[in-house]
Chain A
């Protein structure tokens, strides 16, 4: 029973971090109808930025976000303006190819800069833990989860309590109507894409403190992130959060109770079953655009 309890706690805490990484992906899809398959590589880029600041300037991983989030925002804006915006036709399909190319470029640059060696973000609290009942909870999981909650809440406030956020939601609901009422849709898209990429900085920091990573680790991530946003409903932030928690908890329980062999399979079985009964995902696109 302790084991299942531990798996549930770990699943929830990891799920929060995955929700953060997936939120950028689902936000960009909601606004731009673009599947950013480069999100995994961008998360790893974020992890390397934090790793570099820690190695060379001894900056704490969480403090490093003050620098890495704006840096990733700029990188996202540059990608959107120089690449995505130039796609005039069949943008959804072409963006998949283009962002895959971006992922390959990022991987190449990271390999040249850091080599293929596995690294891990270090801090005094990464291997420390505290006891709750019979289970030890690592501080990094808790801090990562709390940071994800704060950032997702901030994102919610930005989308629902600011004028620019209203513009983003209007664009999600009806791009043409948004343009007609004077919203600068082009600017909304740039900011949304950059926002999605900047969230990868935070997700990458926690991912890199929990796991070892190297320039190719993004491929392991992107398939899971895509499953999460499909299950949650493409474009839905709440869906990404719920799907992350469900998937990670189910996977962790399966791994400890049954076998790791079945854990990864269950991840996709849950997706298949959910889509069988609810093809639009847990929250679905219609609901997502209403939220």
Chain B
């Protein structure tokens, strides 16, 4: 009989213990989202690549977020509360980025999350944010593989999906008389979820303009010796070179070898590199930037929402010139703008309401007006920027252009 009682007591203890554990687990699995009325700053968490392959872009993304937070705080904050940024370095690795967002949500209990750099890191990050019901606005990471996930909480804050970035360039080619159009093209792309789809889509459009592919190669992300690839490109004698690079290293390396080999194609366009301001111009030499193109969603002279204030803040804080500004900075700043407008409209930090609001409304950003489809895909179009006289300037399509396209590209200096 005593044994039975003891067993019953043990069972009660066991049940109580299990219930407590379950309660703790459920609390930690669904972290409370602090109500907007709560005191203290609004905590916004994100992971950023301060080391590893994306460290250059990661640093620029951080600058963009910090500039936005400073501007918001200097104007009274968000919903009357200060904005506090919490971030961790992800070393450019998908495993660390997932760990960082889990920590931000479950341990730091951030109110809102925003994205890291690159499609590679966005997929695991957005998955973590979705698990906890957080809205996830990303300044980069709009490759097709991201949208294929159908994240209901994901929004890519650039004018157009990455894969369509070279469509504007292909459209410009169509406007060039056939006799003057490049006859042949070489495509060199890093095997990366951002760069490869963009280059592949661009190639299919460019081929439709009658430009024959004479060299097409994919470079594994871990390869850092680009000399043989550059030599093969030179040997192809292509009149147009399309470079698919998630960062600037491939673009810079190819340009240096082209100069050494006295090979100057009629046109060069890169998915990334020429958009990184002084990092690019310092590395290839300002005079050798002339005529190089890149698809972009922002430029410093655009008459877009808060652009003059953004430039003023940037130059005050980081000095230099407007041409020095990496494209990553306004992209991250734009994420803050969309977040701010959405929060102000719903007057809440409730992430479910925030997701609904961002799906159904339009927002003003440094990159122009922005709205998103059900997969978080932006519904706009990027434009082509070309370095001319030491400055990156929009050249196509005409509604964005401040100069004509310089074609053919002048010879190297």
Chain A residues contacting B228 (CB-CB under 8 Å) are 7, 10, 251-253, 255-256, 260, 263
Task: Establish whether residues B261 and A136, one from each chain, have CB atoms under 8 Å apart when the complex forms.
Answer: yes
Closest residue on chain A to residue B228 by CB atoms: A255
Establish whether residues B232 and A212, one from each chain, have CB atoms under 8 Å apart when the complex forms: no
Query: Which residues of B from 19 to 75 have beta carbons under 8 Å from A?
Result: 50-53, 55-56, 58-59
CB of B224 within 8 Å of the partner chain: yes
State in angstroms the CA–CA spacing of A118 and B262 once bound together.
Answer: 24
| Chain B residues within 8 Å of A176, by CB | none
CA distance A217 to B252 in the complex (A): 15
Assess whether B87 is interfacial by the CB under 8 Å rule: no
* A-facing residues in B249-277 (Cβ within 8 Å): 249, 252-253, 256-257, 259-262
Measured CA separation A129–B51 after assembly (Å)? 34
A52 at the interface (CB under 8 A from B): no
Judge if A87 is at the interface, Cβ distance under 8 Å.
no
B227 at the interface (CB under 8 A from A): yes
Interface segment, one of B215-223, B356-364, B366-374: B215-223
User: Does A10 contact B279, Cβ atoms closer than 8 Å?
Assistant: no
Which chain A residues border B261 with CB–CB below 8 Å?
Answer: 129, 136
Q: For chain A residues 253-288, which have a beta carbon within 8 Å of chain B?
A: 253, 255-256, 259-261, 263-264
Q: 18 extra interchain contacts, Cβ-Cβ under 8 A, other than A116-B56, A127-B260, A261-B218?
A: A14-B227, A116-B55, A118-B56, A120-B256, A129-B261, A136-B261, A138-B257, A138-B260, A211-B224, A211-B225, A215-B51, A216-B51, A251-B225, A252-B227, A255-B229, A256-B235, A260-B218, A263-B223
Closest to B92 in A: A216
Q: Is B248 an interface residue (CB 8 A)?
A: yes
Tell whether B231 is near chain A: CB-to-CB under 8 Å.
yes
In contact, B56 and A6 (Cβ under 8 angstroms): no
A to B CB contacts below 8 Å, 21 in the list: A3-B235, A6-B235, A107-B51, A111-B55, A116-B56, A117-B279, A118-B248, A118-B279, A120-B282, A128-B260, A129-B261, A138-B257, A210-B227, A211-B253, A216-B55, A253-B228, A259-B218, A260-B229, A261-B191, A261-B219, A264-B223
Q: B220, B262, B283: which contacts A119 (Cβ < 8 A)?
A: B283
Contacts of A256 in B (CB 8 A): 228-229, 231-232, 235
A115 at the interface (CB under 8 A from B): yes
- Are B252 and A216 interface neighbours, CB within 8 A? no
Chain B residues lying within 8 Å of A220, measured Cβ to Cβ, are 222, 224
The contact of A10 among B219, B227, B249, by CB within 8 Å, is B227
> Which B-chain residue is minimally distant from A18 (CB atoms)?
B225
A129 to B217, CA, bound (A): 25
State which size class the interface on B falls in.
35 or more
Partner of B232, one of A3, A128, A217, A264: A3
Q: Considering the chains assembled together, what is the distance between the CA atoms of A251 and B231 in angstroms? A: 13
Q: How far is the CA of A120 from the CA of B56 in the complex (A)?
A: 14
Contact A116–B50 (Cβ < 8 Å)? yes
The number of chain A residues with a CB under 8 A from chain B is 39
Taking CB atoms, residues of chain A closer than 8 Å to B53 are 216
A214 part of interface (Cβ distance < 8 Å)? yes
| B-contact bits for A99-120, CB 8 A (1 contact / 0 none) | 0000000010001000111111
Complex Cα gap A263–B191 (Å): 14
How far is B249's CA from A274's CA once the two chains are assembled, in angstroms?
32
Chain B 201-251 interface residues, beta-carbon cutoff 8 Å to A: 217-220, 222-225, 227-229, 231-232, 235, 247-249
Q: In the complex the two chains form, what is the Cα distance from A6 to B59 in whole Å? A: 37
With the chains together, A211 CA to B252 CA distance in Å? 9
Q: Which residues of B contact A216 (CB under 8 A)?
A: 51-53, 55
Closest B residue, CB atoms, query A2: B235
A212 adjacent to B253 (CB under 8 Å): yes
Enumerate chain B residues within 8 angstroms of A252, measured Cβ to Cβ: 225, 227-228
Q: Which residues of chain B are within 8 angstroms of A14 by Cβ–Cβ distance?
A: 225, 227
Among residues of B, the one whose C-beta sits closest to the C-beta of A223 is B222
Q: What is the distance, in angstroms, from B200's C-beta to the closest C-beta of chain A?
A: 15
Q: Tell me which of B55, B225, B260, B285 contacts A136 (CB under 8 A).
A: B260
- Per-residue interface assignment for chain A, residues 49 to 72, with 1 indicating a CB less than 8 Å from any chain B CB and 0 otherwise: 000000000000000000000000
Per-residue interface assignment for chain A, residues 166 to 210, with 1 indicating a CB less than 8 Å from any chain B CB and 0 otherwise: 000000000000000000000000000000000000000000001
Contacts A3-B235, A118-B279 given; indicate if A212 touches B223 (C-beta within 8 A): no
Closest approach, in angstroms, between the C-beta of A240 and any C-beta of chain B?
Answer: 18
Q: Which residues of A contact B252 (CB under 8 A)?
A: 118, 120, 212
- Chain A residues in 8 Å Cβ range of B225: 14, 211, 251-252
- Chain B residues with CB under 8 Å of A253's CB are 228
| A residues less than 8 Å from B56 (CB atoms) | 116-118, 214
Min Cβ gap B403→A in Å is 26
Question: Could you tell me the distance in whole angstroms from the C-beta of B320 to the nearest C-beta in chain A?
Answer: 12
Q: Shortest beta-carbon distance, A99 to chain B, in Å?
A: 18
A126–B227 alpha-carbon span in the complex (Å): 14
